[in-house]
Amino acid sequence: MSDYNLNLKRIVERPERYFPRNELLTRADDGPIFRYTYREYCSRVRRVASALDRIGVAAGDRVATLMWNNHQHLELYFAVPCAGRVLHTANLRLSDEHLAYTINHAGDTAVFFSPDLLTQVESIAPLLKTVKVYVVLGEGVPDTTLAPIYAYEDLVAHGDPGYEFPEIDERAPASMCFTSATTGNPKCVVYSHRGIYLHSQAICNADIMAISQYDTILPISPMFHVNSWGVPFAGVWMGSKFVFPGQRPHAEDLLKLIDEHRASFCYGAVTVGIDMMNLLERQPFDITSLRALMLGGSATPASVMHYFRERHGVIVYTAWGSTECAPIATAVCIKRDQRDLDLTDEIAIRVRQGLPVPGVEMKVLDDDGHAVPWDDKAVGEVYVRGPWIATSYLNEPRSKESFIDGWWKSGDIAAVNTDGVIRLVDRAKDLIKSGGEWISSVDLENTLMAHAGIREATVVGQPHEKWIERPIAFLVADPAAPRPGDAELREHLSAHGIARWWLPDRFVFLDALPKTGVGKFDKKLLRQQIDAYVAQGSVAA
Amino acid sequence: MSDYNLNLKRIVERPERYFPRNELLTRADDGPIFRYTYREYCSRVRRVASALDRIGVAAGDRVATLMWNNHQHLELYFAVPCAGRVLHTANLRLSDEHLAYTINHAGDTAVFFSPDLLTQVESIAPLLKTVKVYVVLGEGVPDTTLAPIYAYEDLVAHGDPGYEFPEIDERAPASMCFTSATTGNPKCVVYSHRGIYLHSQAICNADIMAISQYDTILPISPMFHVNSWGVPFAGVWMGSKFVFPGQRPHAEDLLKLIDEHRASFCYGAVTVGIDMMNLLERQPFDITSLRALMLGGSATPASVMHYFRERHGVIVYTAWGSTECAPIATAVCIKRDQRDLDLTDEIAIRVRQGLPVPGVEMKVLDDDGHAVPWDDKAVGEVYVRGPWIATSYLNEPRSKESFIDGWWKSGDIAAVNTDGVIRLVDRAKDLIKSGGEWISSVDLENTLMAHAGIREATVVGQPHEKWIERPIAFLVADPAAPRPGDAELREHLSAHGIARWWLPDRFVFLDALPKTGVGKFDKKLLRQQIDAYVAQGSVAA
């Protein structure tokens, strides 16, 4: 028993042997959808893995991808680590400087990229210190300053479909992702083969995501963002059918894919879920095939859950985690004696962040390091640990601020109810300090988004002479409804139990809220340029 | 990440924190059913764990249990390993000599036993070389020669509910079981914390057993038989409700428990499934709450599957494994493109032994060590390996016959169809050698049991001067149907595709077939005493 490694070879060899007929699809921008089977997929994984030596990518080397959600990316998810290299799914939405920083920090020797990103890659290339080779997706090599460069299909064509994956120690690194740090450079988390294996098992659990061979999975969450929540690894293990949305999908593309391919499991950022909801109100799509729509990245408003459930019969699930958690740490849980609750009470549980998934330990500590009481009032910072939770960043002095005695200190502030279910109140840094008390920006945002006239809302603290900070709300109006005024919004918040002193000093309507590379509202930018955003917006009357 | 151990503490602490209200029940022989919650269960686990020091059971010691399926046994499943001791679930159905051998071989220092087994324990006590202390379930100590002896409830009462489990290395032994060897002494398999953790994750997988917090689990498979298929560990992790059948349950007790407590998941030996089927034909029970009835230990006849499905809407699942596999290695799999098969074709897949569960590797090798073609004709011996599959027996020279290069050589002969799904043909030792060819006893048995007049069937080889061996069938008639004659049975077998030279030379009706301690037909005994059994039976006319 002692020598049997938990590694990614165990995962990809299962559909190869036992589910070769199941399909994987990718939406093309132009032309028909691409489709092939696991038989071809696994053969190509072996071919690409075998080609790494030839292009000078040695065992132990790091390999960057700058790619969208497609089948080639999924090939590299296994080809690179199963060949004993380390996959770095670089975040193509980072600034050139940050992107180059991550590639240099990882020490990547190769960059695999999508041809539509050629200009971006060319512009960062002079900044890259360790990259020795480029590979561009497709049959041919474009006219470029990048050198040496290979066409991906050339690697496949000359690769060996009979290549045998080496036996890899389970503690060896398999992949790495960078957090989008709010200050300073991104920080690098390394995932071991063992960590990914165990995370995959955990999310296949019937009480968590229940990923199955019967699923048709539509991954909206980018594959360059925390391994697309780890679902690609789990789905391949089970032999699930995949439908990849390809490059730059819009809500309409996604809904069309769900409808046409009868997707059963779809997951992505809450903001994308809201986009889909808004489009569904205007345009008919059949999304009843979804057994689960999983939304994350920020809190899902109850109104969104009600919409999908009542109008389409689709259950919205939530989870909580982070780059440091690979990423799933908690998942929503309706306990067996809560199954008969009415929908409003059930959704009041579903909007919370749930329970630790089997394998993860959690504690919520107050400023003195004591566990907070489970009264849903006291708040503290969330700490987690477990077999796939990081215990350090790669070559990073800031590690000691975030990892304490094997626990990851999340920076998220939560309350815990009597069932042990957490409710995220805010990021520690997004809590608004007004007088001697804290105001939760998340509570304000969720309540504002529950108003029919509000499509999106984010609340940040504005420096204030007397109160230190005061909340200011940035909003996007729903064009289909009358735009609410200042007084109406205050009344709405009060009616939903928001304390008087929590009410934002201002409500500013923008055409769009700034978002980060992974689709979250960019509070950092709003805070930094708060005056400019206020000036460009229109203030509610 | 590197220091986080996969151990049983992680499992039992989850329901303690997050599912304290869920219940565990045990049927009492006399009086009302016992029930308590995980809150009390986990508290008692800690109490018992804390009491081991006091009664002289030191860290690292082995602890034997001689107990039925009840909540106290489940307490010991965690109390012993989480306290750094090793649980040996001794098989109370073994002969005194074998039982004493297993306790001596394990080096057990303590024996926990059910008071109804006092005579058995007293009779083996003089043979035990390492046992220093006895613990009897219940409030008081009976009049006995055993000494020193404690009452289990005394340990609980004086135990510490705040006891903290030590941090245990994942490679440390957690529990041990003995195989019921067909020749010689039983062989001992040791399970590590890691192995049990990973096996539990695997069977909770949505595509395997999908064990869930919503389940109400009725374990028929004895907790002294390969950890009751590992389900107690998995069910506790998920916080599932348990209904334990207590001591010496009959089919009527089991059906009553399913009916009254709306069990959702029930598992046990095929022979018990057949008993339940026979009783259901005479007496009404509502078993529609079952989402799964899992039968194992021998092949489940298609007729049994049809019965449960057509008459009660209950799906019978099968799996394959062994003591060496902890025990699950494969599970039935209806692939996504086989979901629309008609019931007969679906059941033709379900009676096979399925695919390796995620994490397990399998190969089927012919006598020359080559993988057999996936044509469902060629047969070979099944080998498996994986993170919870044993790689040796404890202190056992016979290990080298069963473990080869990290693979367990199962002794089971199987064919593989084009989907990779195995079909067990026979135990290597049960194959009947007739002339230069092999006859599968299992195929004959399944076909015989599909006859309406036959309740049970087992076929063994009888030594034969000319043909080496010839098959002889031992049968139990169904009292509700006319007993078929010799000619009718031959015709029935031929009509179902059995070759002429496979037809048994004799059909012998017995009142009951001899069974092993774990409920399998005892072919070894039949072969040894074949003449006596033939003499006591009535031969079909």
- Contact across the interface for A2 and B386, Cβ inside 8 Å: no
Q: What is the pLDDT of residue B25?
A: 98
Spatial CA neighbour of A66 closest among A98, A108, A10, A114 = A114
- The set of catalytic residues of A is 179, 324, 433, 438
Is residue A151 within 8 A of residue A139, CB to CB? The reply is yes
Best residue in B22, B176, B207, B357 to probe A by mutation, most A CBs within 10 Å?
A: B207
pLDDT over 70 percentage in chain B: 98
For B485-512, the pLDDT digits (tens) are 999 999 999 999 888 889 999 999 999 9
Q: Å from A355 to nearest chain B CA?
A: 8
Assess contact for B285 and B258: CB atoms under 8 A.
yes
* Across A279-307, average pLDDT: 94
| pLDDT-derived band at A540, boundaries 50, 70, 90 | low
Determine the average pLDDT of the residues in B83-88.
98
pTM of the complete model: 0.90
- Ranges of beta strands (E only) in A353-417 are 355-356, 361-365, 379-385, 403-404, 407-416
- How far from each other are the two terminal CA atoms of chain A, in whole angstroms? 70
Q: Is the pLDDT reported for residue B113 higher than 50?
A: yes
Q: Where are the domain boundaries for CATH 3.30.300.30 in chain A?
A: 432-539
Chain A residues in contact with B339 (beta carbon < 8 A) = 214
How would residue A1 be classed by pLDDT, with cut points 50, 70 and 90? very low
Complete DSSP assignment for B414-448: EEE-TTS-EEEEEETTT-EEETTEEE-HHHHHHHH
Rg (CA), chain A: 23
pLDDT in tens, A332-354: 999 999 999 999 999 999 999 99
Radius of gyration for chain B, computed over Cα atoms and rounded to the nearest angstrom: 23
Q: What is the pLDDT of residues B135-150, one digit of tens each?
A: 999 999 999 999 999 9
B519 pLDDT more than 80: no
Using 50, 70 and 90 to split pLDDT, how confident is the model at B1? very low
At A173 the pLDDT is 98
Rounded to 5°, angle at Cα A126 from A121 and A131: 75
**What residues does CATH 3.40.50.12780 cover in chain B?**
8-249
Q: Which residues pair with B31 in a beta bridge?
A: none
Dig out the tokens for A116 from the structure: 């539509």
* A30 has a pLDDT exceeding 90: no
- Look at A1 and B358 and tell me if their CB atoms are within 8 Å: no
The verdict on a CB contact (< 8 Å) between A202 and B205 is: no
Task: Answer whether B33's CB lies under 8 Å from B187's CB.
Answer: no
Pick the more confident residue, A394 or B450: A394
- The tokens for A300 are 């899902």
Residue B385: both structure tokens together? 């390996």
pLDDT confidence of residue B419:
97
Q: Are A46 and A120 in contact (CB under 8 A)?
A: no
The residue type found at A371 is: A
Q: What pLDDT is attached to residue A467?
A: 82
Closest partner CB to A336 (pick from B171, B213, B406): B213
Nearest to A406 among B3, B195, B204 (CB): B3
- Domain A8-190 is classified in which CATH homologous superfamily? ANL, N-terminal domain (3.40.50.12780)
According to the model, what pLDDT value does residue A182 have? 60
Residues of chain A with pLDDT > 70, as a percent, come to 98
Q: What is the mean pLDDT of chain B?
A: 94
In which residue are the tokens 């070769």 written? A20
Q: Are A398 and A362 in contact (CB under 8 A)?
A: no
Strand order in the sheet with A86-89: A149-151, A133-136, A108-113, A62-66, A86-89, A173-179, A187-192
Q: Taking CB atoms and an 8 Å limit, are A206 and B205 in contact across chains? A: yes
Please, where are the H alpha helices in A31-117? 38-51, 71-82, 96-106
Distance CA B307, CA B444 (A): 20
Which whole-number Å values give the CA distances from A412 to A461, A466, A470, B413, in the listed order?
Answer: 17, 27, 20, 55
The pLDDT of residue A31 is above 90: no
Name the band, by pLDDT with cuts 50, 70 and 90, for residue B423.
very high
The first and second tokens of residue B181, run together, are 């060897």
CATH architecture of B8-249: 3-Layer(aba) Sandwich (3.40)
Mean of the per-residue pLDDT values of chain A: 94
- For residue B540, what pLDDT is reported? 59
- pLDDT tens-digit readout, A476-510: 999 889 999 999 999 999 999 888 889 999 999 99
> Mean pLDDT, to the nearest integer, of A447-464?
91
CB A221 within 8 A of CB A269: yes
- Answer yes or no: are the C-beta atoms of B422 and B320 closer than 8 Å: yes
Instruction: Decide yes or no: CATH 3.30.70.1400 for domain A432-539.
Output: no
Tokens linked to A160: 């060996």
The most distant pair of C-alpha atoms in chain B lies apart, rounded to whole Å, by 71
Query: How large is the average pLDDT for residues A95-114?
Result: 96
With cut-offs at 50, 70 and 90, classify the pLDDT of residue A518: low
Helix and strand numbers (H, E) in chain A are: 17, 27
Integer Cα distance of B318 and B329 in angstroms: 11
Span B356-363, mean pLDDT? 98
CA distance A69 to B313: 41
Read off the pLDDT of each residue in A192-197 and give the average, rounded to a whole number. 98
CA–CA distances in Å: residue B177 to residues A31, A502, B115, B227: 60, 62, 22, 8
Distance CA A80, CA A49 (A): 6
pLDDT of A541 reads 54
Q: Which residue has the higher pLDDT, B520 or A390?
A: A390
Q: What is the DSSP string of A372-398?
A: PPSSSS-EEEEEEE-TTS-S--TT-TT
Coil vs helix vs strand at A73: helix
User: How many contacts (CB atoms, under 8 Å) link A and B?
Assistant: 131
Locate the chain B residue with the closest alpha carbon to A205: B205
Segment B206-248, tens digit of pLDDT: 999 999 999 999 999 999 999 999 999 999 999 999 999 999 9
| CATH 3.40.50.12780 domain locations along chain A | 8-190
| pLDDT single digits (tens) A44-76 | 999 999 999 999 999 999 999 999 999 999 999
3-state secondary structure of B536: helix
Residue A183 has what pLDDT?
66
State yes or no: pLDDT of B318 exceeds 70. Answer: yes
List the one residue out of B227, B41, B233, B319 whose CA is nearest residue A358: B233
- Distances A351 to A241, A345, A422, B120, B381 between C-alpha atoms, Å: 28, 10, 10, 56, 52
Q: Which residue has the higher pLDDT, A77 or A541?
A: A77
Q: Are B232 and B69 in contact (CB under 8 A)?
A: no
Q: ipTM of this model?
A: 0.89
- Looking at residue A235, its amino acid is G
Q: Helices A302-312 and A270-280, interaxial angle, to 10°?
A: 40
Contact indicator for A224, A249 with CB cutoff of 8 Å: no
Q: A6 to chain B nearest CA, in Å?
A: 7
